[in-house]
Structure 1
Amino acid sequence: MGHVPNWGAGGCVPAQRGQTRAVGDVLIVDDHPLICDALAMTLTHAFGLRRVRTAASLAAAQRLLREAAMPDAIVLDLNLPDVQGIEGVMALQKLAVDVPLTVISADLDSDMVSAVMAAGAQGYVSKSLPRPQMIDAFQRMWAGEAVTPDEYESDRPSEETGEQMRELTRSFATLTPQQMNILRLICQGRPNKLISYELSIAEATVKTHIAAIMSKINVRNRTQAALLASKARIFVR
Protein backbone atom coordinates (compact mmCIF):
# COMPACT_ATOMS: atom_id res chain seq x y z
CA MET A 1 0.00 0.00 0.00
CA GLY A 2 3.07 2.30 0.03
CA HIS A 3 4.34 4.51 2.83
CA VAL A 4 2.16 5.36 5.79
CA PRO A 5 1.26 9.08 5.83
CA ASN A 6 2.57 11.01 8.81
CA TRP A 7 -0.77 12.61 9.59
CA GLY A 8 -0.76 11.66 13.24
CA ALA A 9 2.38 13.50 14.36
CA GLY A 10 2.25 16.71 16.37
CA GLY A 11 1.50 20.07 14.85
CA CYS A 12 -1.99 19.42 13.46
CA VAL A 13 -3.90 22.55 12.59
CA PRO A 14 -7.18 22.50 14.53
CA ALA A 15 -10.28 22.87 12.38
CA GLN A 16 -12.69 25.75 12.84
CA ARG A 17 -15.39 23.57 14.29
CA GLY A 18 -18.04 26.26 14.24
CA GLN A 19 -18.20 26.10 10.45
CA THR A 20 -18.26 22.30 10.27
CA ARG A 21 -21.09 19.76 10.39
CA ALA A 22 -21.48 18.32 13.90
CA VAL A 23 -19.21 15.30 13.56
CA GLY A 24 -18.23 13.53 16.76
CA ASP A 25 -18.39 9.84 15.82
CA VAL A 26 -16.50 8.61 12.76
CA LEU A 27 -16.22 5.16 11.21
CA ILE A 28 -12.99 4.46 9.30
CA VAL A 29 -13.09 1.46 6.96
CA ASP A 30 -9.55 0.46 5.97
CA ASP A 31 -7.64 -2.81 6.28
CA HIS A 32 -4.31 -1.10 7.00
CA PRO A 33 -4.07 -0.62 10.80
CA LEU A 34 -1.37 2.05 10.62
CA ILE A 35 -3.44 4.11 8.19
CA CYS A 36 -6.44 3.78 10.51
CA ASP A 37 -4.40 4.84 13.54
CA ALA A 38 -2.82 7.83 11.79
CA LEU A 39 -6.12 9.05 10.36
CA ALA A 40 -7.97 8.52 13.65
CA MET A 41 -5.31 10.49 15.52
CA THR A 42 -5.34 13.32 13.00
CA LEU A 43 -9.13 13.69 12.86
CA THR A 44 -9.56 13.36 16.62
CA HIS A 45 -6.95 16.05 17.27
CA ALA A 46 -8.30 18.39 14.61
CA PHE A 47 -12.03 18.04 15.24
CA GLY A 48 -12.25 16.93 18.87
CA LEU A 49 -13.99 13.67 17.97
CA ARG A 50 -15.51 11.78 20.88
CA ARG A 51 -15.25 8.38 19.17
CA VAL A 52 -13.52 6.79 16.17
CA ARG A 53 -14.46 3.24 15.21
CA THR A 54 -12.63 1.17 12.63
CA ALA A 55 -13.47 -1.78 10.39
CA ALA A 56 -11.03 -3.76 8.25
CA SER A 57 -13.56 -5.00 5.67
CA LEU A 58 -16.87 -4.08 4.11
CA ALA A 59 -18.60 -6.96 5.92
CA ALA A 60 -17.29 -5.74 9.29
CA ALA A 61 -18.44 -2.19 8.53
CA GLN A 62 -21.90 -3.43 7.53
CA ARG A 63 -22.22 -5.40 10.78
CA LEU A 64 -21.22 -2.35 12.79
CA LEU A 65 -23.75 -0.13 11.01
CA ARG A 66 -26.52 -2.68 11.58
CA GLU A 67 -25.73 -3.43 15.21
CA ALA A 68 -24.40 -0.19 16.70
CA ALA A 69 -25.22 3.51 16.69
CA MET A 70 -24.91 5.22 13.33
CA PRO A 71 -21.73 7.31 12.97
CA ASP A 72 -21.78 10.98 11.98
CA ALA A 73 -19.41 10.34 9.07
CA ILE A 74 -17.74 7.44 7.24
CA VAL A 75 -14.26 7.29 5.73
CA LEU A 76 -13.76 4.43 3.27
CA ASP A 77 -10.76 2.95 1.49
CA LEU A 78 -11.77 1.52 -1.90
CA ASN A 79 -9.39 -1.43 -1.75
CA LEU A 80 -10.61 -3.82 0.93
CA PRO A 81 -10.17 -7.59 1.30
CA ASP A 82 -13.78 -8.28 0.34
CA VAL A 83 -14.63 -5.43 -2.04
CA GLN A 84 -13.02 -3.11 -4.57
CA GLY A 85 -14.37 -0.27 -6.67
CA ILE A 86 -17.52 1.66 -5.84
CA GLU A 87 -19.42 -1.40 -4.64
CA GLY A 88 -18.35 -0.51 -1.10
CA VAL A 89 -19.62 3.05 -1.46
CA MET A 90 -23.04 1.84 -2.64
CA ALA A 91 -23.28 -0.86 0.02
CA LEU A 92 -22.51 1.44 2.93
CA GLN A 93 -24.79 4.21 1.69
CA LYS A 94 -27.71 1.80 1.62
CA LEU A 95 -27.22 1.32 5.37
CA ALA A 96 -26.21 4.89 6.21
CA VAL A 97 -28.36 6.95 3.87
CA ASP A 98 -27.81 10.39 5.40
CA VAL A 99 -24.25 9.88 6.61
CA PRO A 100 -21.57 11.73 4.57
CA LEU A 101 -19.08 9.26 3.13
CA THR A 102 -15.55 10.16 2.11
CA VAL A 103 -13.34 7.91 0.02
CA ILE A 104 -9.65 8.03 0.90
CA SER A 105 -7.43 6.34 -1.65
CA ALA A 106 -4.04 6.28 -3.34
CA ASP A 107 -5.82 5.77 -6.69
CA LEU A 108 -6.37 9.20 -8.26
CA ASP A 109 -7.57 7.94 -11.64
CA SER A 110 -10.10 10.50 -12.90
CA ASP A 111 -12.59 7.83 -14.00
CA MET A 112 -12.53 6.31 -10.52
CA VAL A 113 -13.02 9.71 -8.89
CA SER A 114 -15.96 10.36 -11.24
CA ALA A 115 -17.51 7.00 -10.41
CA VAL A 116 -17.14 7.51 -6.66
CA MET A 117 -18.67 10.99 -6.77
CA ALA A 118 -21.47 9.76 -9.03
CA ALA A 119 -22.19 7.07 -6.42
CA GLY A 120 -22.94 9.82 -3.91
CA ALA A 121 -19.73 10.21 -1.92
CA GLN A 122 -19.20 13.58 -0.26
CA GLY A 123 -15.58 13.64 -1.33
CA TYR A 124 -12.51 11.83 -2.60
CA VAL A 125 -9.24 12.43 -0.76
CA SER A 126 -5.72 11.34 -1.66
CA LYS A 127 -3.87 9.33 0.98
CA SER A 128 -0.75 11.31 0.13
CA LEU A 129 -2.18 14.69 1.17
CA PRO A 130 -0.08 16.55 3.76
CA ARG A 131 -1.66 16.91 7.18
CA PRO A 132 -2.95 20.52 6.89
CA GLN A 133 -4.54 19.86 3.48
CA MET A 134 -6.06 16.63 4.77
CA ILE A 135 -7.70 18.45 7.68
CA ASP A 136 -8.88 21.24 5.40
CA ALA A 137 -10.46 18.71 3.02
CA PHE A 138 -12.43 17.05 5.83
CA GLN A 139 -13.49 20.40 7.25
CA ARG A 140 -14.88 21.41 3.85
CA MET A 141 -16.62 18.06 3.29
CA TRP A 142 -18.21 18.03 6.73
CA ALA A 143 -19.43 21.57 6.02
CA GLY A 144 -21.27 20.17 2.99
CA GLU A 145 -18.82 20.84 0.16
CA ALA A 146 -18.02 18.16 -2.43
CA VAL A 147 -14.23 17.77 -2.46
CA THR A 148 -12.09 16.07 -5.11
CA PRO A 149 -8.32 15.92 -5.72
CA ASP A 150 -6.72 18.93 -7.41
CA GLU A 151 -5.51 16.65 -10.21
CA TYR A 152 -9.11 15.72 -10.98
CA GLU A 153 -10.37 19.27 -11.37
CA SER A 154 -8.59 19.77 -14.70
CA ASP A 155 -9.89 16.48 -16.11
CA ARG A 156 -13.38 16.24 -14.67
CA PRO A 157 -16.21 15.18 -17.00
CA SER A 158 -18.83 17.53 -18.39
CA GLU A 159 -22.05 17.94 -16.42
CA GLU A 160 -23.86 15.89 -19.04
CA THR A 161 -21.35 13.04 -18.71
CA GLY A 162 -21.47 13.34 -14.93
CA GLU A 163 -25.25 13.02 -14.92
CA GLN A 164 -25.03 9.96 -17.17
CA MET A 165 -22.61 8.38 -14.70
CA ARG A 166 -24.88 9.23 -11.77
CA GLU A 167 -27.84 7.65 -13.55
CA LEU A 168 -25.79 4.55 -14.33
CA THR A 169 -24.70 4.27 -10.71
CA ARG A 170 -28.27 4.68 -9.49
CA SER A 171 -29.34 1.75 -11.67
CA PHE A 172 -26.62 -0.50 -10.22
CA ALA A 173 -27.60 0.60 -6.71
CA THR A 174 -31.03 -1.03 -7.24
CA LEU A 175 -29.45 -4.50 -7.42
CA THR A 176 -29.98 -6.78 -4.44
CA PRO A 177 -26.91 -8.22 -2.66
CA GLN A 178 -27.44 -11.57 -4.41
CA GLN A 179 -27.78 -9.88 -7.79
CA MET A 180 -24.56 -7.99 -7.08
CA ASN A 181 -22.85 -11.30 -6.28
CA ILE A 182 -24.06 -12.76 -9.56
CA LEU A 183 -22.97 -9.67 -11.50
CA ARG A 184 -19.51 -9.95 -9.94
CA LEU A 185 -19.23 -13.55 -11.14
CA ILE A 186 -20.50 -12.58 -14.59
CA CYS A 187 -17.73 -9.98 -14.75
CA GLN A 188 -15.26 -12.74 -13.86
CA GLY A 189 -16.49 -14.78 -16.82
CA ARG A 190 -18.34 -17.49 -14.87
CA PRO A 191 -21.06 -19.43 -16.79
CA ASN A 192 -24.48 -19.88 -15.20
CA LYS A 193 -23.76 -23.44 -14.10
CA LEU A 194 -20.65 -22.37 -12.19
CA ILE A 195 -22.46 -19.37 -10.68
CA SER A 196 -25.16 -21.76 -9.52
CA TYR A 197 -22.53 -24.00 -7.89
CA GLU A 198 -20.56 -21.18 -6.25
CA LEU A 199 -23.65 -19.51 -4.77
CA SER A 200 -25.45 -22.78 -3.93
CA ILE A 201 -28.60 -21.81 -5.80
CA ALA A 202 -30.48 -23.43 -8.66
CA GLU A 203 -29.39 -22.58 -12.18
CA ALA A 204 -32.95 -21.46 -12.93
CA THR A 205 -32.65 -19.01 -10.04
CA VAL A 206 -29.41 -17.68 -11.52
CA LYS A 207 -31.18 -17.10 -14.84
CA THR A 208 -34.02 -15.28 -13.08
CA HIS A 209 -31.56 -13.02 -11.29
CA ILE A 210 -29.65 -12.31 -14.50
CA ALA A 211 -32.87 -11.33 -16.24
CA ALA A 212 -33.63 -8.95 -13.37
CA ILE A 213 -30.11 -7.49 -13.51
CA MET A 214 -30.37 -6.84 -17.24
CA SER A 215 -33.76 -5.20 -16.79
CA LYS A 216 -32.56 -2.94 -13.97
CA ILE A 217 -29.46 -1.71 -15.79
CA ASN A 218 -31.16 -1.73 -19.20
CA VAL A 219 -28.92 -4.11 -21.16
CA ARG A 220 -29.73 -7.04 -23.44
CA ASN A 221 -27.04 -9.57 -22.53
CA ARG A 222 -24.33 -10.57 -20.06
CA THR A 223 -21.54 -8.97 -22.07
CA GLN A 224 -23.23 -5.58 -21.98
CA ALA A 225 -23.82 -5.97 -18.25
CA ALA A 226 -20.13 -6.65 -17.67
CA LEU A 227 -19.10 -3.69 -19.84
CA LEU A 228 -21.40 -1.32 -17.97
CA ALA A 229 -20.15 -2.59 -14.60
CA SER A 230 -16.60 -1.91 -15.78
CA LYS A 231 -17.53 1.59 -16.98
CA ALA A 232 -19.13 2.40 -13.63
CA ARG A 233 -16.10 0.96 -11.76
CA ILE A 234 -18.36 -1.28 -9.68
CA PHE A 235 -15.72 -3.98 -9.18
CA VAL A 236 -12.09 -2.87 -9.35
CA ARG A 237 -9.10 -4.49 -7.70
Structure 2
Amino acid sequence: MTREPDFRLDGFEADDAHSEFAKNMMWPGYLSLLAEYHTPPEGAHSFMVVRDRLMDWGEPGDPALVAVEITRDLDTRTFTIDSENHGTIAFAQNWLIQRGCPPEQITHVGDDVMKPADDLTLWLDQQIRDSGARYEVINSYTSHHEPCETWTLTRDSAGGQAPIRVFLESWDHKTGTYTMREGAFADVGVAQTWLDERSGPLPEPPRYSNGAAVRARIALARSAGVSATPQIGIDAPRTTAAGPVQRPVQGRLL
Protein backbone atom coordinates (compact mmCIF):
# COMPACT_ATOMS: atom_id res chain seq x y z
CA MET A 1 0.00 0.00 0.00
CA THR A 2 0.99 3.61 -0.43
CA ARG A 3 2.08 5.19 2.82
CA GLU A 4 1.72 8.53 4.54
CA PRO A 5 4.52 11.03 3.94
CA ASP A 6 6.96 12.06 6.65
CA PHE A 7 7.75 15.73 6.13
CA ARG A 8 10.59 15.60 8.68
CA LEU A 9 9.76 18.91 10.34
CA ASP A 10 10.08 17.92 14.00
CA GLY A 11 12.26 20.47 15.78
CA PHE A 12 11.94 23.03 12.97
CA GLU A 13 10.00 26.31 12.89
CA ALA A 14 8.49 27.93 9.82
CA ASP A 15 10.57 30.73 8.32
CA ASP A 16 7.50 32.64 7.08
CA ALA A 17 3.70 32.74 7.32
CA HIS A 18 3.29 30.99 3.98
CA SER A 19 5.28 27.97 5.17
CA GLU A 20 3.53 27.93 8.56
CA PHE A 21 0.16 27.81 6.80
CA ALA A 22 1.35 25.03 4.50
CA LYS A 23 2.56 22.96 7.45
CA ASN A 24 -0.79 23.37 9.23
CA MET A 25 -2.59 22.20 6.08
CA MET A 26 -0.49 19.05 5.84
CA TRP A 27 -2.68 16.28 7.20
CA PRO A 28 -0.68 13.09 6.58
CA GLY A 29 -3.75 10.91 7.19
CA TYR A 30 -5.24 12.26 3.95
CA LEU A 31 -2.02 12.10 1.94
CA SER A 32 -0.51 9.17 0.05
CA LEU A 33 3.20 9.30 -0.77
CA LEU A 34 4.00 8.41 -4.38
CA ALA A 35 7.65 9.50 -4.70
CA GLU A 36 10.24 11.20 -2.51
CA TYR A 37 13.87 12.26 -2.26
CA HIS A 38 15.75 13.77 0.70
CA THR A 39 19.20 15.22 0.12
CA PRO A 40 21.95 13.53 2.15
CA PRO A 41 23.37 13.51 4.68
CA GLU A 42 21.01 15.56 6.89
CA GLY A 43 18.14 16.29 4.53
CA ALA A 44 18.41 20.03 3.96
CA HIS A 45 16.00 19.59 1.05
CA SER A 46 13.04 17.27 0.54
CA PHE A 47 11.13 16.67 -2.69
CA MET A 48 7.87 14.71 -2.70
CA VAL A 49 4.90 13.84 -4.85
CA VAL A 50 1.79 13.09 -2.81
CA ARG A 51 -1.85 12.46 -3.54
CA ASP A 52 -4.21 14.67 -1.52
CA ARG A 53 -7.44 12.74 -0.92
CA LEU A 54 -9.10 15.86 0.49
CA MET A 55 -9.25 17.09 -3.10
CA ASP A 56 -11.98 14.49 -3.63
CA TRP A 57 -14.28 16.91 -1.83
CA GLY A 58 -12.91 20.02 -3.51
CA GLU A 59 -13.86 21.70 -6.74
CA PRO A 60 -14.79 19.12 -9.41
CA GLY A 61 -11.87 18.54 -11.73
CA ASP A 62 -9.17 19.93 -9.44
CA PRO A 63 -5.88 17.98 -9.66
CA ALA A 64 -5.17 15.82 -6.63
CA LEU A 65 -1.41 15.37 -7.02
CA VAL A 66 0.85 17.78 -5.15
CA ALA A 67 4.55 18.39 -5.76
CA VAL A 68 6.13 19.50 -2.48
CA GLU A 69 9.53 21.13 -1.95
CA ILE A 70 10.80 21.61 1.62
CA THR A 71 13.98 23.57 2.34
CA ARG A 72 15.49 23.41 5.84
CA ASP A 73 18.08 25.72 7.37
CA LEU A 74 19.96 23.29 9.59
CA ASP A 75 21.68 26.11 11.51
CA THR A 76 18.60 28.16 12.43
CA ARG A 77 16.28 25.09 12.48
CA THR A 78 13.78 26.80 10.20
CA PHE A 79 12.05 25.63 7.03
CA THR A 80 10.20 26.88 3.97
CA ILE A 81 7.61 25.01 1.90
CA ASP A 82 6.56 25.46 -1.70
CA SER A 83 4.03 23.30 -3.51
CA GLU A 84 2.01 23.03 -6.70
CA ASN A 85 -0.90 20.83 -7.77
CA HIS A 86 -0.75 18.80 -10.99
CA GLY A 87 -2.97 16.42 -12.90
CA THR A 88 -0.24 13.89 -13.73
CA ILE A 89 2.77 12.71 -11.82
CA ALA A 90 5.06 13.44 -14.77
CA PHE A 91 4.26 17.17 -14.56
CA ALA A 92 4.66 17.06 -10.76
CA GLN A 93 8.06 15.40 -11.18
CA ASN A 94 9.03 18.01 -13.80
CA TRP A 95 8.20 20.81 -11.35
CA LEU A 96 10.47 19.24 -8.71
CA ILE A 97 13.28 18.53 -11.16
CA GLN A 98 13.27 22.19 -12.19
CA ARG A 99 13.84 23.03 -8.52
CA GLY A 100 16.93 20.86 -8.21
CA CYS A 101 15.65 17.37 -7.49
CA PRO A 102 17.78 14.71 -9.22
CA PRO A 103 15.57 13.17 -11.96
CA GLU A 104 16.68 9.62 -11.25
CA GLN A 105 15.61 9.96 -7.61
CA ILE A 106 12.07 11.26 -8.03
CA THR A 107 11.11 8.85 -10.82
CA HIS A 108 11.13 5.81 -8.50
CA VAL A 109 7.58 4.95 -7.45
CA GLY A 110 5.82 2.12 -5.65
CA ASP A 111 4.63 -1.17 -7.11
CA ASP A 112 1.01 -0.76 -6.04
CA VAL A 113 0.04 2.11 -8.32
CA MET A 114 -1.05 2.20 -11.94
CA LYS A 115 1.56 1.49 -14.59
CA PRO A 116 2.00 2.71 -18.18
CA ALA A 117 0.05 0.53 -20.58
CA ASP A 118 2.41 0.90 -23.55
CA ASP A 119 5.75 2.26 -24.73
CA LEU A 120 4.29 5.49 -26.08
CA THR A 121 2.93 6.29 -22.61
CA LEU A 122 6.33 5.53 -21.10
CA TRP A 123 8.03 7.82 -23.59
CA LEU A 124 5.59 10.71 -23.12
CA ASP A 125 6.00 10.50 -19.34
CA GLN A 126 9.75 10.81 -19.74
CA GLN A 127 9.40 13.63 -22.26
CA ILE A 128 7.30 15.65 -19.80
CA ARG A 129 9.62 14.96 -16.86
CA ASP A 130 12.69 16.02 -18.83
CA SER A 131 11.13 19.01 -20.61
CA GLY A 132 12.28 21.74 -18.22
CA ALA A 133 10.20 24.88 -18.77
CA ARG A 134 9.11 23.84 -22.27
CA TYR A 135 5.43 23.32 -21.38
CA GLU A 136 3.39 26.12 -19.81
CA VAL A 137 0.38 24.62 -18.05
CA ILE A 138 -2.79 26.51 -19.01
CA ASN A 139 -5.53 24.30 -17.61
CA SER A 140 -6.22 20.81 -16.31
CA TYR A 141 -9.12 18.59 -15.37
CA THR A 142 -9.29 15.30 -13.47
CA SER A 143 -12.23 12.87 -13.42
CA HIS A 144 -12.38 9.63 -11.43
CA HIS A 145 -15.71 8.72 -12.99
CA GLU A 146 -16.45 7.75 -16.57
CA PRO A 147 -14.41 8.67 -18.42
CA CYS A 148 -11.68 8.02 -15.83
CA GLU A 149 -9.00 10.40 -17.03
CA THR A 150 -7.00 13.54 -16.51
CA TRP A 151 -5.92 16.05 -19.10
CA THR A 152 -3.39 18.87 -19.03
CA LEU A 153 -3.66 21.73 -21.53
CA THR A 154 -0.27 23.32 -22.22
CA ARG A 155 1.56 25.76 -24.45
CA ASP A 156 4.62 24.15 -26.05
CA SER A 157 7.44 26.64 -26.64
CA ALA A 158 8.78 24.26 -29.30
CA GLY A 159 5.38 23.53 -30.82
CA GLY A 160 5.75 25.48 -34.06
CA GLN A 161 2.44 25.89 -35.93
CA ALA A 162 0.59 23.80 -33.34
CA PRO A 163 1.83 25.21 -30.03
CA ILE A 164 -1.11 24.10 -27.87
CA ARG A 165 -0.62 20.58 -26.61
CA VAL A 166 -3.08 18.39 -24.74
CA PHE A 167 -1.73 15.50 -22.67
CA LEU A 168 -4.60 13.09 -22.08
CA GLU A 169 -4.31 10.24 -19.60
CA SER A 170 -6.93 7.49 -19.46
CA TRP A 171 -7.04 4.90 -16.66
CA ASP A 172 -8.05 1.26 -16.81
CA HIS A 173 -8.76 0.16 -13.26
CA LYS A 174 -9.32 -3.46 -14.30
CA THR A 175 -5.77 -3.85 -15.59
CA GLY A 176 -4.17 -1.30 -13.26
CA THR A 177 -2.70 0.60 -16.21
CA TYR A 178 -3.06 3.96 -17.92
CA THR A 179 -2.33 5.43 -21.34
CA MET A 180 -0.98 8.89 -22.16
CA ARG A 181 -1.59 10.53 -25.51
CA GLU A 182 -0.52 13.94 -26.88
CA GLY A 183 -2.65 16.16 -29.11
CA ALA A 184 -1.60 19.27 -31.05
CA PHE A 185 -3.78 22.33 -31.74
CA ALA A 186 -3.33 25.76 -33.28
CA ASP A 187 -4.95 27.65 -30.38
CA VAL A 188 -6.51 27.18 -26.96
CA GLY A 189 -10.09 27.59 -28.17
CA VAL A 190 -9.83 24.73 -30.66
CA ALA A 191 -8.19 22.50 -28.06
CA GLN A 192 -10.85 23.25 -25.45
CA THR A 193 -13.61 22.57 -27.98
CA TRP A 194 -12.10 19.16 -28.70
CA LEU A 195 -11.89 18.38 -24.99
CA ASP A 196 -15.52 19.39 -24.48
CA GLU A 197 -16.98 17.62 -27.51
CA ARG A 198 -14.58 14.74 -28.37
CA SER A 199 -15.94 14.87 -31.91
CA GLY A 200 -12.97 13.09 -33.47
CA PRO A 201 -9.60 11.48 -32.68
CA LEU A 202 -7.01 13.48 -30.78
CA PRO A 203 -4.93 15.31 -33.44
CA GLU A 204 -1.38 14.01 -33.31
CA PRO A 205 1.65 16.34 -33.25
CA PRO A 206 3.36 16.78 -36.64
CA ARG A 207 6.45 14.84 -35.54
CA TYR A 208 4.33 11.70 -35.14
CA SER A 209 4.16 11.49 -38.93
CA ASN A 210 7.79 10.37 -38.78
CA GLY A 211 7.01 6.98 -37.27
CA ALA A 212 10.61 5.79 -37.38
CA ALA A 213 11.82 8.74 -35.32
CA VAL A 214 9.11 8.25 -32.73
CA ARG A 215 9.82 4.52 -32.47
CA ALA A 216 13.51 5.30 -32.02
CA ARG A 217 12.78 7.70 -29.17
CA ILE A 218 10.49 5.13 -27.52
CA ALA A 219 13.16 2.44 -27.80
CA LEU A 220 15.71 4.80 -26.27
CA ALA A 221 13.42 5.56 -23.34
CA ARG A 222 12.75 1.85 -22.80
CA SER A 223 16.43 0.91 -22.97
CA ALA A 224 17.25 3.62 -20.43
CA GLY A 225 15.20 1.73 -17.86
CA VAL A 226 12.64 4.46 -17.23
CA SER A 227 10.73 3.79 -14.04
CA ALA A 228 7.05 3.00 -14.44
CA THR A 229 4.99 6.05 -13.64
CA PRO A 230 1.86 5.90 -11.44
CA GLN A 231 -1.37 7.79 -11.76
CA ILE A 232 -3.85 8.94 -9.21
CA GLY A 233 -6.81 6.67 -9.85
CA ILE A 234 -6.16 4.57 -6.76
CA ASP A 235 -8.64 5.90 -4.21
CA ALA A 236 -11.99 6.64 -5.80
CA PRO A 237 -13.37 10.02 -4.73
CA ARG A 238 -16.82 10.44 -3.25
CA THR A 239 -17.94 13.28 -5.48
CA THR A 240 -18.68 13.35 -9.18
CA ALA A 241 -16.49 15.56 -11.37
CA ALA A 242 -18.49 17.62 -13.85
CA GLY A 243 -17.55 20.44 -16.15
CA PRO A 244 -14.12 21.83 -17.05
CA VAL A 245 -11.99 23.87 -14.69
CA GLN A 246 -11.41 27.34 -16.03
CA ARG A 247 -7.85 27.66 -14.83
CA PRO A 248 -5.08 25.43 -13.49
CA VAL A 249 -4.48 25.10 -9.77
CA GLN A 250 -1.01 26.57 -9.43
CA GLY A 251 0.81 27.15 -6.17
CA ARG A 252 -2.00 25.71 -4.06
CA LEU A 253 -0.93 24.77 -0.54
CA LEU A 254 -1.69 21.30 0.72
TM-score normalised over the length of structure 2: 0.29
Higher relative contact order, structure no. (Cα contacts within 8 Å, ≥ 6 residues apart): 2
Q: Which has the higher helix share?
A: 1
TM-score normalised over the length of structure 1: 0.30
Q: Which has the higher strand share?
A: 2
